[in-house]
Amino acid sequence: MSVSTSPGSRIDWLLFVALGFFWGSSYLFIKIGVDAGLEPFTLVMFRLLVGGALLAVVVAAAREALPRNAKTYGHLVALGLFSVALPFVLITYAEQSVDSALAATLTAPVPLFVIPIAALMLGDKITVAKVVGVTVGMIGVAILVGFDPAQLGRTDLTPQLILLGAALSYAFGGVYARRFVHGMRPMIPALFQVFFAMLIAGAGAFILEDPIGQVLSVPFEALFAVVWLGLFGSGLAYLTFYRLLNSWGPTRVSLVAYLLPVWGIALGWVVLNEQINEGLVLGTALVIGGIAIVNMQRRAMVARAAALRRRYRSRSAAPVTPDPAAGPR
């Protein structure tokens, strides 16, 4: 019996939810890892080692052809830096000071940062919907950061700004891939960006930290966090992502951005008893709303407005039949 892989198939929707969980849960396990004593470069290096090993096995089993152009490998190194190594290290460093729920929400605005970067690098048009969406989303970001002009210089916002830097790095990496990484089967860039990111994080770990000593001394929950992050947050997440990319396309798969802060907040509350306050809820809602507005297509908006007008006119034109049971009014 074959399983349907059409865009509306049940298996694809289950994979979509699973992908949101894989990536959304990463913030929880990063927090568990750093609280247990793992330093940022070390945690990132080992999670990428586990995830990269899984991807390498899959690519080898599928007998995927590897690139032969040195320039292509140069682009994959850049992709590994900006799409994996840099944001992973920044998020891990910031979670030494902030809750996992806040980390999940402050890295969610990636689609908002893509707008100006894609305009500069790819010449994408900036529409009214994009401007409105970015504005709404940035208001949400300001609420999440806890921005208060009266408190400037008195409050340390460094971890929050670091998380926004991670989101900016993700956005740049995505646009960079659209411009420079072409002509390869999807699993190849996934494998090599993880591999090169592991080398970058490994260099930082051995220069600045003591990765071997940490792994031998940290408690079990830290090792479990690393394995989870490698298998699910890096390895299986990429496999799921590219499976959906083939069946749904990039636009629809990008909607997974809506799930990440939801999973991040829920898991932080359930597992770590992190507080959910009004600012977190409002800021997250505005960020998700901004992403939704940015993703709105003008044609779809016009068609929806026209359908609503037609429905209103048809109801207004329909004769009103008195209801005998209603009685006088």
Domain total in the chain: 1
In the chain, the amino acid numbered 205 is A
Is residue 329 domain-resident?
Answer: no
**Distance, CA of 28 to CA of 266 (rounded, Å):** 10
Query: Which residues in the chain show pLDDT less than 70?
Result: 1-8, 147-155, 249-251, 297-329
Is residue 66 domain-resident?
Answer: yes
Is residue 95 domain-resident?
Answer: yes
Is residue 249 domain-resident?
Answer: yes
**Contact partners, residue 155, CB within 8 Å, separation at least 6:** 146, 148
Q: What are phi and psi of 184, to 5 degrees?
A: -125, 150
Is residue 86 domain-resident?
Answer: yes
Question: For residue 31, what are its two tokens?
Answer: 């927090």
Q: What DSSP assignment string belongs to 287-321? A: HHHHHHHHH--HHHHHHHHHHHHHHHHHHHHSPPP
Question: For residue 185, what are its two tokens?
Answer: 């089967």
Is residue 320 domain-resident?
Answer: no
What are the tens digits of pLDDT across the range 253-286? 777 878 888 888 899 999 999 888 888 888 888 8
pLDDT the model gives residue 33: 96
Reduced to 3 states, what is the DSSP secondary structure of residue 37?
A: coil
Q: Do 233 and 23 touch, CB atoms closer than 8 A? A: yes
DSSP 274: -
Select from 16, 50, 46, 78 the least CA-distant residue to 260: 16
**Distance, CA of 196 to CA of 175 (rounded, Å):** 18
**Distance, CA of 89 to CA of 296 (rounded, Å):** 32
Domain that holds residue 116: 10-314
Total Cβ atoms within 10 A of residue 79 = 23
Is residue 5 domain-resident?
Answer: no
**Contact partners, residue 278, CB within 8 Å, separation at least 6:** none
| Summary mean pLDDT of the chain | 83
Is residue 213 domain-resident?
Answer: yes
pLDDT the model gives residue 155: 60
